[in-house]
Amino acid sequence: MAILVTGSTGVIGKQVLEHLQGRGTHVYALTRSPEKAQFADGITAIKGDLSDLDSLRQTMKSISTLFLLVPNAADELTQALQALSIARESHVKGVVYLSVFGAAEYVDVPHFTGKHAVERMIEQCDIPATVLRPAYFIQNDVKQKEALLKHGIYGMPIGDKGVSMVDVRDIGEAAARELRRRELAADPLPRETYELVGPDALAAESVVKIWVDALERPIRHGGNDLDLLEQRLKSVAPAWLAYDMRLMMQRYQQDGAVASTEQIGRLSALLGRPPRSYRDFAVAMAAEWAKE
């Protein structure tokens, strides 16, 4: 049988495929445009998407393990629940589901609450799954390049409570490890849950200090103006998604999203090493930008 990776051409999907490549398992990558896909050897492109139930039913017949990443969409919850139902009907042996850190607590943030509803289905239907709950992606801050280099500003309004940002490479590796573990098992395995987090609770001030050191220039925080954030996001994304992101940042400012020592240790045990740090990311980005 094989592993099916959804969201295969996105940031996380690419990381999952990279960590699965050459590991002795057959991998299918679900994509709307297989003719455009440029996957590595051993990765088979399969035409389809989570909203096309007929193609999803057909694809699920050929797999035994599913990586379920549902994109930010107005019908994200519907897509996720239907995909899990089809997986159950197809007797898929194991699922790795990408949720979000703090899903149960951020009840006023739509995509958090939606992912928590999916987690409830996994639990109540006794689906053999690993739930991965990533925090804010470190690599989201690659988009801060222009503000940092041209204006000396770190622009994300993350507040001062702290966020345990996670490196996307750690997300991909954690997902791949659990996919292979479930794929290679003779029988369905018990449910597991991991918080995918970084080693540090990062507030605006601490992130600014990291960039000052990495870029060797003055950097200041752009402030915590959520109106400005929403307007900026609306220029590149639908209004509903911009508002969703605003609500997430509002909760970061109010409550933070800080991982416990136990959660960091559990992820470290899964990876076989500590999770990557924001400082290492900033130093690497500064070196890369200096070459341009």
Give the three-class secondary structure for 230: helix
Q: Work out the angle at residue 158's Cα, subtended by the Cα atoms of residues 292 and 146, and round it to the nearest 5 degrees.
A: 20
Q: How many Cβ atoms are within 10 Å of 227's Cβ, its own excluded?
A: 8
pLDDT at 77: 97
179 closest CA partner among 49, 51, 68: 68
Q: What is the pTM of this model?
A: 0.96
Q: Does position 1 have pLDDT exceeding 80, yes or no?
A: no
| Domain spans of the chain, in order of start | 3-136+166-197+261-271
Please compute the mean of the pLDDT values over residues 44-73 and round it to a whole number: 94
DSSP-H helix ranges across the chain? 11-20, 53-60, 76-89, 110-124, 145-151, 168-184, 204-215, 226-234, 239-255, 261-271, 278-290
Q: Does position 198 have pLDDT exceeding 80, yes or no?
A: yes
Q: Are 1 and 64 in contact (CB under 8 A)?
A: yes
Task: Compute, in degrees rounded to 10, the torsion defined by CA atoms 107, 253, 141, 201.
Answer: -100
Q: Are 65 and 59 in contact (CB under 8 A)?
A: no
3-136+166-197+261-271: CATH superfamily: NAD(P)-binding Rossmann-like Domain (3.40.50.720)
Tell me the per-residue pLDDT of 74-87, one tens digit each, with 9 for 90 and over.
999 999 999 999 99
Q: At 23, is the pLDDT very low, low, confident or very high (cuts 50, 70, 90)?
A: confident
pLDDT at 142: 98
